[in-house]
A and B are shown apart, each in its own frame.
Chain A
């Protein structure tokens, strides 16, 4: 990760900015219904090892004086799925890519909750993103 940040510094023009956009280290919450009708069904058991490693890499390049950081901020992002099949496909891929423990228990919980609702009810995964702006500093 540090190599990526060093490369970003190299290819930026003087005064350019690096924007680090990634999921905030909070457990994603899975619910049913969109917007204000959203109701929590379960909280994922994802882990944040990669986030901590990325944070350490950012701290290192800040210590090196390559960038000056503005305070990061978070904002809400929903991932909206039309069907249970969509949710199963999403969570399978998410768990595999992240190396997280199986979430069969959560799939079953969502299936049970969804069965009591209008079949058109959407499955919505909520998890904020974090954005940090870093300005390139002269050598």
Chain B
């Protein structure tokens, strides 16, 4: 399906406006196919853990992951109600269309 979301880049500008992402450790909840995740990487996040309960979407995200960002992005099939991460791990948690 040829679908382009936000060709004007309003979303990335809004995310850039609210905080400085450079060097930050980020948890993204509801990463889907990684559309927003890649934008966070472009904003300079140091490490991104991206979760989604949909295994098919996570598979798509992994397939679309550029080598450039491969070390900084980790996709995982998971539900956000019970996170496996230790307390006080992340600088930023982004709930991406997940609530």
Please give the residue numbers on chain A whose beta carbons come within 8 Å of chain B beta carbons, in ascending order: 1, 3-5, 7-8, 10-14, 16-23, 34, 54, 57-58, 70, 73, 75-83, 85-86, 89-90, 129, 131, 133
- In this complex, the interface size class of chain B, counting residues with CB under 8 Å from chain A, is 35 or more
Asked if B63 is at the interface of the complex by the 8 Å CB criterion, the answer is no
The count of A-to-B residue pairs whose CB atoms sit within 8 angstroms is 126
Residues of A near B18 (CB, < 8 A) are 19, 70, 131, 133
Given contacts A3-B81, A76-B10, A77-B5, contact A12 B98 (CB under 8 A): no
- Per-residue A-contact encoding for B54-93, CB less than 8 Å = 1, 0 else: 0000000000000000000000000011110111111111
Contact in complex: A11, B85 (CB < 8 Å): yes
CB<8 Å pairs between A and B, sample of 10: A7-B80, A8-B93, A16-B93, A18-B94, A19-B92, A22-B97, A34-B7, A78-B7, A80-B3, A131-B15
The 4 closest A-B pairs by CB, nearest first: A54-B99, A82-B2, A3-B81, A8-B93
Pick from A5, A12, A131: contact of B14, CB under 8 Å: A131
Contact in complex: A12, B88 (CB < 8 Å): yes
A93, closest chain B residue (CB): B1
Nearest CB in chain A: distance from B62 CB, A: 21
Told that A7-B83, A12-B89 touch, could you supply 18 new A-B pairs with CB distance under 8 A?
A3-B82, A8-B27, A11-B90, A12-B92, A16-B90, A16-B91, A17-B91, A17-B93, A18-B94, A19-B15, A21-B14, A21-B94, A22-B98, A78-B7, A78-B8, A80-B7, A85-B1, A86-B1
Residues of B near A58 (CB, < 8 A) are 99
